[in-house]
């Protein structure tokens, strides 16, 4: 194994050369052989560790197991990261060749009875374990049981086959979305077709055309290109064309129909997930998913979503009625099409509040926003952030920062902010290194990846963010803080590890609140030419418009959540002539949606969260955690948004403890009670 991929060896506050991936030294042609060697070595070591399980201790068993996991994770982390942010055909081939090997290894571990017995023996020993060690053991034992450790014969073999196939299907689904997004672009050479588009969008499109040695304006399906067209382009035909291309990505419809179709993959994924759940004794995959979450049962999740829909839909219908009336009165539009909603919503927002995202953009230059973000983190949690100039990078856009507390380094993170070709869409946080106590006694410090897809700088002008992009940055940094401010030293429950999936969005959604606070915006914003903070008049308009169409946004998210959960709850492969995926989506839309999607809309074929990410039967987590985050923030509303004691309490309960205690207990420790839905409805303007 090359030095660049070896495990970290860090003393507290000291960074060694090997504490970060050496991207420049990654030899793609050698990755598969390296992985084979690591897996073979791990298998040998595990065999040795489980040979005698009579006298297992934390130090002679759990710690060596953790070390094996971490070495593998540190090898794979930069490869997985590059596959998402700098995708090439060569890397993709190697990545896909490695996936079945990793899946087989994972299944093998999960079904290793000797390992399972060793963890159980350790958990039942009379050793005095820390809270983190106890929780790690509990979660490990549960993980074995949910991985089919009790299975025998055909069932055991079938479980392994399904796991391998599901990892391949998930990867292929994501590739199809990326390729379908990449496959469509439109060059426009007549500027009169682009009226209404803001200067920033035109400059971006011109720069993209120039990068491909073309004259004119180039548009793609990436968010920084797609969203301005849908919001501002006067040309309805252009809006309809780009909308049609976007909502038919990776499907049997649209401009690239059948070329990257994910529908057959969805059917196979659902069938395999259902089969796997039943092998493990669950009624359906939704119940298997909930087994590791805060929610007690699938029924509780459905009740939660149905209750939110019941409370939100009347307000969403009012939002839509207002939009239709405005489009008719002001523009004579009798029939609002799906590709008109964003455009006339933006017109209505400007009509009611005289404000647009574009008007705010000059006040949110990237460098000012980032320094403001760090000021918020400092005021709330007592941490400082500094940029590192010299490091081994994989792209000029990527930056590296060190987080310190009272002069001691405690974490690092990469920030990769801008959209580009070969980079997966959306925004996410991932771990690069996990905080843990090493066998040597040194403390390994956490490192995170924070990835966004913002509009890149144009010419000499800095990158200027919309307020929506600002909240996205704060959201991902919230995830990052959860990972980086942990005080836990046991890998399986350190940072975001071991946190119930429906609570993992709590810190991220929580941090978004500061993007709306005048006291915070005073140092988050600064005009890119004059340095002037967001003027009071603009701020007042922005706050007045905060809940504009919030109920419509709410039911849209509930549509995604209910579709995902019902799809996994109601799927039954033994039913002949049962519901199709489209049937379930149509039913959910009939129940909760207020905007009718066109028949050609194939939203599901690019729903990567649930088919290529970790949110299967768990997309509801966004709403579940939003209840927690709104309620947590209400404590700051009561006690002061920069109240240091409240900030320290949030840091020391929610962030510091990672997955070492159940999320419900940590929330109650912070809030002094169980969570309440009231703050969420109030923040969204749905309830007084």
Strands 447-454 and 408-418: parallel
Distance, CA of 507 to CA of 647 (rounded, Å): 12
Judge contact between 478 and 510, C-beta under 8 A. yes
Q: Please give the Cα distance from 681 to 679 (Å, whole number).
A: 6
CA 277 – CA 104 distance, rounded (Å): 18
What backbone phi and psi angles, to 5 degrees, belong to 256? Answer: -115, 40
Q: Is 228 helix (H, G, I), strand (E, B) or coil?
A: helix
Rounded CA separation 312/682 (Å): 11
Q: How far apart are CA 591 and CA 160, in angstroms?
A: 38
Which has the closest alpha carbon to 597: 255, 297, 248, 363? 248
Contact 471, 422 (CB under 8 A): no
Cα dihedral 133/138/141/145 (nearest 10): -160
Q: Looking at 66, 287, 476, 512, which residue is catalytic?
A: 476
CA dihedral angle for residue 521, residue 522, residue 527, residue 532, rounded to 10 degrees = 160
Tracing tokens 């030293």 back to the chain, one arrives at 489
The rounded Cα 217 to chain-centroid distance in angstroms is 31
Contacts of 669 (CB under 8 A, 6+ apart): 653
**Which residue has 């689904």 as its token pair?**
173
- Is the separation of the CB atoms in 502 and 622 below 8 Å? no
Residue reference for tokens 């976007």: 246
Annotation marks residue 476 as catalytic: yes
Write the secondary structure of 461-518 as one string of H (helix), E (strand) and C (coil). Answer: CCCECCHHHHHHHHHHHHHHHHHHCCCCCCHHHCCCCCCCCCCCCHHHHHHHHHHHCH
Expressed in percent and rounded to 5, the helix, strand and coil fractions of the chain are 60, 5, 35
* Token pair for 246: 């976007």
Query: Is 206 in contact with 459 (CB distance < 8 Å)?
Result: no
Find out whether 632 and 654 touch, Cβ atoms under 8 Å. yes
3-state secondary structure of 410: strand
Edge to edge, what strands does the sheet with 384-388 contain? 384-388, 399-405, 408-418, 447-454, 428-433
Distance of alpha carbon 267 from alpha carbon 264, whole angstroms = 5
Helices (H), 593-643: 608-611, 621-639
Could you list the beta-strand ranges (E) of 247-345.
none
Residues annotated as catalytic are: 476
């Amino acid at each position: 194994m090359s030095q660049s991929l070896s495990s970290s060896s860090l003393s507290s506050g000291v960074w060694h050369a090997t504490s970060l991936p050496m991207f420049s030294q990654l030899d793609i042609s050698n990755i598969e052989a390296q992985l084979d060697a690591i897996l073979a070595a791990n298998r040998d070591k595990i065999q040795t560790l489980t040979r005698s399980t009579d006298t297992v201790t934390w130090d002679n068993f759990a710690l060596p197991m953790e070390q094996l996991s971490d070495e593998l994770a540190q090898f794979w982390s930069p490869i997985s990261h590059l596959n998402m942010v700098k995708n090439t055909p060569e890397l993709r081939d190697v990545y896909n060749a490695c996936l079945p090997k990793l899946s087989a290894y994972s299944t093998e571990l999960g079904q290793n009875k000797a390992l399972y017995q060793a963890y159980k023996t350790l958990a039942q020993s009379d050793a005095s374990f820390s809270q983190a060690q106890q929780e790690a053991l509990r979660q490990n034992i549960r993980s074995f049981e949910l991985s089919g450790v009790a299975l025998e014969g055909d069932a055991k073999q079938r479980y392994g086959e399904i796991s391998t196939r599901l990892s391949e299907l998930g990867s292929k689904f994501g590739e199809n979305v990326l390729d379908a997004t990449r496959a469509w672009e439109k060059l426009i050479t007549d500027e009169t077709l682009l009226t209404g588009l803001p200067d920033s969008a035109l400059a971006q499109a011109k720069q993209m055309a120039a990068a491909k040695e073309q004259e004119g304006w180039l548009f793609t399906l990436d968010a920084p290109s797609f969203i301005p067209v849908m919001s501002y382009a006067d040309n309805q035909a252009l809006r309809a064309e780009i909308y049609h291309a976007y909502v038919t990505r990776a499907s049997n419809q649209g401009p690239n129909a059948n070329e990257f179709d994910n529908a057959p993959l969805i059917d196979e994924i659902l069938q395999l997930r259902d089969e796997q759940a039943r092998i493990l004794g669950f009624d359906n995959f939704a119940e298997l998913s909930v087994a590791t979450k805060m929610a007690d049962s699938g029924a509780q999740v459905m009740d939660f979503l149905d209750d939110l829909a019941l409370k939100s839909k009347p307000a969403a219908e009012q939002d839509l009625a207002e939009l239709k009336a405005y489009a008719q009165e002001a523009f004579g539009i009798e029939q609002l099409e799906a590709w008109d909603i964003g455009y006339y919503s933006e017109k209505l927002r400007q009509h009611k509040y005289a404000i647009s995202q574009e008007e705010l953009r000059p006040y949110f230059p990237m460098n000012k926003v980032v320094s403001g973000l760090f000021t918020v983190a400092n005021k709330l949690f007592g941490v400082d952030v500094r940029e590192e100039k010299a490091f081994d990078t994989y792209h000029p856009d990527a930056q590296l920062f060190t987080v310190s507390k009272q002069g001691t380094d405690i974490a690092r993170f990469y920030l990769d902010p801008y959209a580009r070709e070969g980079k997966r869409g959306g925004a996410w946080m991932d771990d690069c290194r996990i905080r843990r106590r090493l066998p040597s006694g040194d403390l390994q410090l956490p490192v995170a990846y924070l990835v966004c897809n913002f509009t890149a700088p144009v010419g000499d002008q800095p990158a200027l963010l919309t307020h929506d992009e600002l909240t996205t940055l704060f959201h991902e940094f919230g995830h990052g803080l959860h990972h980086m401010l942990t005080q836990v030293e046991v890998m399986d429950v350190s940072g975001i590890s071991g946190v119930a999936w429906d609570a993992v969005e709590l810190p991220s959604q929580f941090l978004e609140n500061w993007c709306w606070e005048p006291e915070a915006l005073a140092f988050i914003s600064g005009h890119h030419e004059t340095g002037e903070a967001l003027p009071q008049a603009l701020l007042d308009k922005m706050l007045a418009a905060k809940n504009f169409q919030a109920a419509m946004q709410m039911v849209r998210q509930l549509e995604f959540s209910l579709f995902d959960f019902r799809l996994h709850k109601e799927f039954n492969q033994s039913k002949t002539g049962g519901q199709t995926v489209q049937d379930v989506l149509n039913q959910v839309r009939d129940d909760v949606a207020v905007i009718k999607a066109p028949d050609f809309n194939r939203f599901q074929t690019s729903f990567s969260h649930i088919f290529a990410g970790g949110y299967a039967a768990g997309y509801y987590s966004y709403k579940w955690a939003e209840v927690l985050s709104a309620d947590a923030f209400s404590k700051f509303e009561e006690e002061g948004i920069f109240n240091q004691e409240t900030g320290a309490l949030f840091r020391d309960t929610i962030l510091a403890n990672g997955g070492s205690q159940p999320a419900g207990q940590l929330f109650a420790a912070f809030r002094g009670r169980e969570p309440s839905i009231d703050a969420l409805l109030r923040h969204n303007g749905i309830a007084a």
